[in-house]
Structure 1
Amino acid sequence: MDIILDFFKYIIGLGVTVMMPIIITILGVIFRKKISVAFKAGLTVGVGFVGLGVITSLMLTTITPVTKALVENYNFKLTATDIGWGVGSSLAWGTEVVPFVFVAIIATNILMIAFKWTKTMDVDIWNYWQPLFIASALYLTTGSMIIAILSSIINMAIIFKIADWTQKDVENVLGLEGISLPQIQTTGWALVGYPMNWLLGKIPGVRKINWSTEKVQSRLGIFGEPMLMGLIIGGGLAAIAQMPLSQVLQTGVTIAASLVLIPRMVSLLMDGLTVISEAAHEFMEKRFPGRELFIGLDSAVGIGHPFVLSLGLLMIPITLILAFILPGNKVLPLADLTALPFYMIFAIVPSKGNLFRGIFTGIVIVIITLYLSGAAAPLMTELAGQIGYNIPKDAVEVTSLAVGTQWYTWIVYYGLHWFGGIL
């Protein structure tokens, strides 16, 4: 079993920048593209992911000290510290369920495509950690491998259907043709984002407010450009965090660069993916007329929209304020604050890029996330101890906003946990 686990860890350790070119090249050959064309498409995707990773990493490295300073300078006293998604991922990939759940997820995807239950072909194996986390938690708390595997099948079947349902908006709003986003912690929020957009569209006065990219740029002129918005938001956050002037300026310029360069890296990545997407369409049309096939990718490709990234950054101080004022909240947001842009995609997409509605939807998403992260804290603390994580000395419990964002998986968790208890 250790050899199998080490193999999966090795594959995951290669990272998206190595494995995606290999996967895309293989898909290109399967879809009857010349090896040279498929290889070039795969390499282009790899280069795009490298660029996206470098810029995203730079942005996160720059904004992390700002979020820590916000927490320290405003003296937030909460008992469950957000230690980040990495611990949840480490737990997910470190248990005996990994090979069985991994195969179950792939088999579920293949069977759903074969029976026309989904159009999404999920190649984003790195984010399998999300269903794996719940599966691992169920295995460690119930001892049942069957229940653990069943949870992953249910959770992924749900997200494949949501990814199909939201694909046209992902294509039209985010510009990702033929791409879907089957990530639980991102696309799962579509089930909140669309009802919120509908509700806001029914409120007199509010329904007429439309802060779209075009309208903001036309009203604010140069200050509505992504570059200037990044400068203002990044510099403003650093100033609120009481950081030195030099760091305020550096943060502003880095975030400005991120808002300009991330869309360009996504565009480069899409150059390679378009070749495979078109090949998949032609392949399916010849053999299965009328069938569509979407390529399921990491939600990182979705933060190229300037308002997604802007909203994610704006939600950092809002999240801290909510954490402080919400009755019964015990979660101190910290490590996962920088991941907020990924969680905000479906706060923006349902309204076709309306930042005003995105803010209100984002607040609802954060409130739900804080309470769920708090509810998960005892379990997360216990499981973190089992993998040898050193709990911060100031923390009574540990948790992760990322774990809280996987909201519907907790319904599955508690349902199957109860079911396992009566067997």
Structure 2
Amino acid sequence: MDFILNIFKYIIDLGVSVMMPIIITVLGLVFRKKLGVSFKAGITVGIGFVGLGVITNLLLGTISPVTEALIERFGFHLTAVDIGWAVGASVAWGTEVVPFVFIAIIATNVIMITLGWTKTMDVDIWNFWQPLFIASALYLTTGSMVLAVLSAVINMAIVFKLADWTQKDVEQVLGLDGISLPQIQTTAWSLLGYPINWLIDKIPGVRNINWTTEGIQKRLGILGEPMMMGLIIGAGLAAAAGYPFSGILQTGVTVAASLILIPRMVALLMDGLIVISEAAQEFMEKRFPGRELYIGLDSAVGIGHPFVLSLGLLMIPITLVLAFILPGNKTLPLADLAGLPFYMIFAIVPSKGNLFRGLITGIFIVTGVLYLASAAAPLMTKLALEVGYDVPAGATEITNLAIGSQWYTWFVYWILEAVGKLF
């Protein structure tokens, strides 16, 4: 078992741009595609992820200093500092539950596919850190490996079903044919996004407000195009942060470029994935007539929609204001503010791309994220200290918006923690 886990760990450590070509090539061979076709599809996906990563990192690297400047300029002071998802992931991958949880997640996915309980084949191995974090927290607080593994099985089984349920809308709105998003911090919010969209449908007048990409472009002309939206939003954030004129222009152009280039990298990535998706459907049709199979990927492939990215950027100042005014919140949003587009996917998808409804839903989402990140702060701090992470000077506790975004996993944690205390 250790040998197999070491192979997986080695592949994961290579990074997504190398890991995904390997996985896609192997899947192509499993689905009876020729080696050359499978390898080309894998390399195409890898190139797409390289491009997506470069542009996303450029965007994050540009926006992160802007958010820090906003916080400093407006004097936000809260006790639990958001140090970013990467630390949470490092903590999750650094505990002793990893081998057991890793195997349990893969087994859960295989069993559910075999029994017809899910159509999602999750190849997004890196984001296993999300159920791993809760499993690590349970092991720390209860000492039970059984409960830790059980939490991962429950959390991933839920997200596999959510990925199935939302796939057709993901395909329609985001243009991701045959792709589902089994990522907890993204797809969990579908359970809030769809009910809010349903409620808006019941409000006379408000239900008729429909800010679509086409509608905005028609009304605003060139100002409604994605690149101009990016320029305006990026420049506006930089101006609010007190940047000089040159910095305002640079930030605006970088964000504008991101809104144009990210969808193109996703399209390139999809060129490779469509080969495997079609092969998977053919494979399933021969052995299980009438069954579909979706490829489960990182939600990074979903932020290419102009409204998803725009809403994520618009939510930065809104999140900072909410952090300051929400009673009981102690989370100071910082490192993960640039990752807000990932949490906004299911603010946009349920309404079929309506930015107005997305804005309303987004406010509810970040409110939940802030409160859950605050609740998770003591545990995050304790886990981080267990693996040797130093709490930054001036911070009473550490947290991140990412673990706050994985909302239903905390209910699983609290229930299983109570079970652990009973026994």
What TM-score range do you get, normalising by the shorter chain?
over 0.9
The CA distance in 1 between the partners of 2:234 and 2:350, in whole Å, is: 25
Counterpart check, 1:366 vs 2:366 = yes
Counterpart check, 1:249 vs 2:249 = yes
Identify the residue that residue 265 of structure 2 maps to in structure 1.
265
Identify the residue that residue 148 of structure 2 maps to in structure 1.
148
SS in structure 1 at match of 2:81: strand
Q: Across the two proteins, how many residue pairs are aligned to each other?
A: 423
- The aligned runs of 1:122-271 (5 Å cut-off) are 122-271=122-271
The CA distance in 2 between the partners of 1:396 and 1:9, in whole Å, is: 33
The CA distance in 2 between the partners of 1:139 and 1:6, in whole Å, is: 22
Query: Comparing 153-162 with 30-39, which one deviates more in the overlay?
Result: 30-39
Residue 402 of structure 1 aligns with an amino acid whose one-letter code is A
Deviation at 1:244, TM superposition (A): 1.2
Deviation at 1:390, TM superposition (A): 1.5
Counterpart check, 1:405 vs 2:398 = no
Q: Alpha-carbon deviations, 1:240-260, whole Å to 9, x = none?
A: 111111111100000000000
Counterpart check, 1:421 vs 2:418 = no
SS in structure 2 at match of 1:121: strand
Identify the residue that residue 99 of structure 1 maps to in structure 2.
99
Residue 260 of structure 1 aligns with an amino acid whose one-letter code is I
Query: Comparing 123-132 with 238-247, which one deviates more in the overlay?
Result: 238-247
Deviation at 1:386, TM superposition (A): 1.2
Identify the residue that residue 328 of structure 1 maps to in structure 2.
328
The CA distance in 2 between the partners of 1:197 and 1:309, in whole Å, is: 19
SS in structure 1 at match of 2:303: helix
Query: Comparing 374-383 with 409-418, which one deviates more in the overlay?
Result: 374-383
Tell me if structure 1 keeps the 8 A contact 2:211–2:356. Answer: yes
Deviation at 1:13, TM superposition (A): 1.4
Deviation at 1:283, TM superposition (A): 1.2
SS in structure 2 at match of 1:304: coil
Tell me if structure 2 keeps the 8 A contact 1:5–1:94. Answer: no
Residue 131 of structure 1 aligns with an amino acid whose one-letter code is P
Tell me if structure 1 keeps the 8 A contact 2:104–2:153. Answer: yes
Identify the residue that residue 285 of structure 1 maps to in structure 2.
285
Identity %: 76
Unaligned regions of 5+ residues in structure 1, if any? Answer: none
The CA distance in 2 between the partners of 1:232 and 1:338, in whole Å, is: 17
The CA distance in 1 between the partners of 2:312 and 2:145, in whole Å, is: 37
Identify the residue that residue 45 of structure 2 maps to in structure 1.
45
Q: Alpha-carbon deviations, 1:56-113, whole Å to 9, x = none?
A: 0000001111000000000011111101111111111011110110000000000000
Residue 117 of structure 1 aligns with an amino acid whose one-letter code is W
The CA distance in 2 between the partners of 1:9 and 1:34, in whole Å, is: 27
Tell me if structure 2 keeps the 8 A contact 1:8–1:99. Answer: no
The CA distance in 1 between the partners of 2:8 and 2:391, in whole Å, is: 27
Query: Comparing 185-194 with 24-33, which one deviates more in the overlay?
Result: 24-33
Unaligned regions of 5+ residues in structure 2, if any? Answer: none
Tell me if structure 1 keeps the 8 A contact 2:95–2:387. Answer: no
Normalising by structure 1, we get a TM-score of: 0.98
- The aligned runs of 1:70-81 (5 Å cut-off) are 70-81=70-81
Q: Alpha-carbon deviations, 1:200-237, whole Å to 9, x = none?
A: 11111110000011101111110110010000000100
The 1:229/1:175 distance shift into structure 2, 3 A limit, reads: same
The 1:32/1:5 distance shift into structure 2, 3 A limit, reads: closer
The 1:358/1:106 distance shift into structure 2, 3 A limit, reads: same
The 1:30/1:7 distance shift into structure 2, 3 A limit, reads: closer
The 1:201/1:85 distance shift into structure 2, 3 A limit, reads: same
Residue 114 of structure 1 aligns with an amino acid whose one-letter code is T
The 1:4/1:93 distance shift into structure 2, 3 A limit, reads: farther
The CA distance in 1 between the partners of 2:109 and 2:309, in whole Å, is: 30
The CA distance in 2 between the partners of 1:319 and 1:239, in whole Å, is: 17
Tell me if structure 2 keeps the 8 A contact 1:5–1:98. Answer: no
Identify the residue that residue 302 of structure 1 maps to in structure 2.
302
Residue 74 of structure 2 aligns with an amino acid whose one-letter code is Y
- The aligned runs of 1:334-345 (5 Å cut-off) are 334-345=334-345
SS in structure 2 at match of 1:394: coil
Deviation at 1:7, TM superposition (A): 5.6
Q: Alpha-carbon deviations, 1:338-397, whole Å to 9, x = none?
A: 000001000000000000000000000000110111011111111111112111211111
Identify the residue that residue 319 of structure 1 maps to in structure 2.
319
The 1:7/1:37 distance shift into structure 2, 3 A limit, reads: closer
The 1:2/1:141 distance shift into structure 2, 3 A limit, reads: farther
Deviation at 1:287, TM superposition (A): 1.7
Deviation at 1:10, TM superposition (A): 3.1
SS in structure 1 at match of 2:32: coil
